[in-house]
Amino acid sequence: MTAICIANNKGGVGKTTTVVNLAAGLARLGHSVLVVDADGQSNATYALTGSVHPTPSLYDLLMDTAKFDQALWTTNEEHIWLIPGDGRLQNIDVELAAKPGREWRLTRALNGQSFDYILIDTPPSLGVVTQNALVAAQHVIVPVALSEFSLIGMDKLLSTIDELSDQLDIDDLDLLGIVVTFYEENRLGRETFGVLEKKFEGQLFETHIPKHNKIEEAHRRNESVLTFAPTSPGGLAYAELAREVKKRATSTGEAYSRRRVARG
Ligand SMILES: Nc1ncnc2c1ncn2[C@@H]1O[C@H](COP(=O)(O)OP(=O)(O)O)[C@@H](O)[C@H]1O
Ligand SMILES: [Mg+2]
């Protein structure tokens, strides 16, 4: 089991798209995948099921009003299961404020589960739900849209993840990689990619995700691009990204088991 959180506090950079299609890529490599939709906008839930508010959802898991199996749904894709998101997640920060272990609730809910990969989609914020996602994951993937790329924003995001790791007492969260999305093959695209490669040497995935309408169309049809258009540039890129992710984060074959690290 390997748990990966997809995070970037900017919206529209391809987080949800990457979660859905990376899940499909890993499923095609023979793995069981659990997608956790931690975004109140529930775009991943919609993309994978066509349904907007299945309940019980992650909200109920975090609030302790449902058990894991009650919040577990099948999806339109084989070998992919889902803990759905729903709109109530948007106000959960307030509701969890006075509850004990509020950043550890997702971790607790996942303990004992035996999917090969757990992929967690996050909202464009660093609130309690995203904190639950970062605590529950061993790795983070950060998607960066080449079209609206900002180095300053990236630095801030990476240092915020470091700060959060410190505050939350998690010392084993690592940056699995930065994946470039909305890539366009032109001079500007190549130049910007080159700058990123230099700055984040070794951290950038070799695969970049092209900007392509089939990706968006698949999303609207509640299918992964690997199902909808497997040989399109987007389908091929996400299949390749799955292979790279598998290489960097091998599934351990053991059940999910995470405990709070005691600080000396
Ligand atoms: N590579 C791509 N090419 C074209 N459209 C894309 C691509 N990646 C994402 N999109 C579309 O862009 C929008 C934002 O992507 P999304 O994954 O929802 O971003 P986020 O989750 O970071 O807010 C969605 O409508 C999605 O279908
Ligand atoms: Mg999203």
In this predicted model, what pLDDT tens digit does every residue of 97-143 receive, in sequence order? 889 899 999 999 999 999 999 999 999 988 999 999 999 999 999 99
User: For helices 15-28 and 233-248, what crossing angle results, to 10°?
Assistant: 70
The residue segments making up the domain with residue 7 are 2-247
Task: Provide mean pLDDT across the span 228-254.
Answer: 96
Residue 35 has pLDDT above 70, yes or no: yes
For the Cβ of 169 lying below 6 angstroms from any atom of ligand 1, the answer is no
For the Cβ of 12 lying below 6 angstroms from any atom of ligand 1, the answer is yes
Alpha helices in 111-251 (DSSP H): 128-136, 151-167, 187-199, 213-220, 225-228, 233-248
Low-confidence winner among 43-47, 48-52, 122-126, 259-263 (lowest mean pLDDT): 259-263
For the Cβ of 16 lying below 6 angstroms from any atom of ligand 1, the answer is yes
Residue 117: what residue type? Answer: Y
Whether 264 is covered by a domain: the verdict is no
Closest CA to 22 of 106, 122, 141: 141
Whether 102 is covered by a domain: the verdict is yes
DSSP state of 210: B
Can you read off the two tokens belonging to residue 40?
């109140």
Give the phi and the psi of residue 126 in degrees, each rounded to 5: -115, 35
Residues 6+ apart with CB under 8 A from 78: 27
Is the CB of residue 145 less than 8 Å from the CB of residue 14? yes
d(CA 227, CA 218) in angstroms, rounded, equals 8
Whether 253 is covered by a domain: the verdict is no
Whether 66 is covered by a domain: the verdict is yes
Q: pLDDT category, 150, cuts 50, 70, 90? A: low
Whether 143 is covered by a domain: the verdict is yes
Q: pLDDT category, 218, cuts 50, 70, 90? A: very high
How many residues would you count in the chain?
264
pTM metric for this prediction: 0.96
d(CA 37, CA 56) in angstroms, rounded, equals 13
Whether 254 is covered by a domain: the verdict is no
CA distances from 83 to 53, 54, 130 (A): 11, 9, 15
Q: Between residues 171 and 151, which one has the greater pLDDT?
A: 171
| Cα 117 → chain centroid | 11
- 139-145 and 117-121: which strand pairing? unpaired
Partner residues linked to 6 by β-bridges: 121, 141
Of all protein residues, whose CA lies closest to atom 27 belonging to ligand 1? 216
Rounded to the nearest angstrom, the distance between the alpha carbon of 84 and the centre of ligand 1 is 19
For the Cβ of 41 lying below 6 angstroms from any atom of ligand 1, the answer is no
Number of domains in the chain: 1
For the Cβ of 182 lying below 6 angstroms from any atom of ligand 1, the answer is yes
Task: Provide mean pLDDT across the span 17-42.
Answer: 98
Of all protein residues, whose CA lies closest to atom 5 belonging to ligand 1? 216
CATH number, position 177 = 3.40.50.300
Whether 64 is covered by a domain: the verdict is yes
Q: pLDDT category, 84, cuts 50, 70, 90? A: very high
d(CA 102, CA 173) in angstroms, rounded, equals 18
Whether 257 is covered by a domain: the verdict is no
Can you read off the two tokens belonging to residue 86?
């729903």
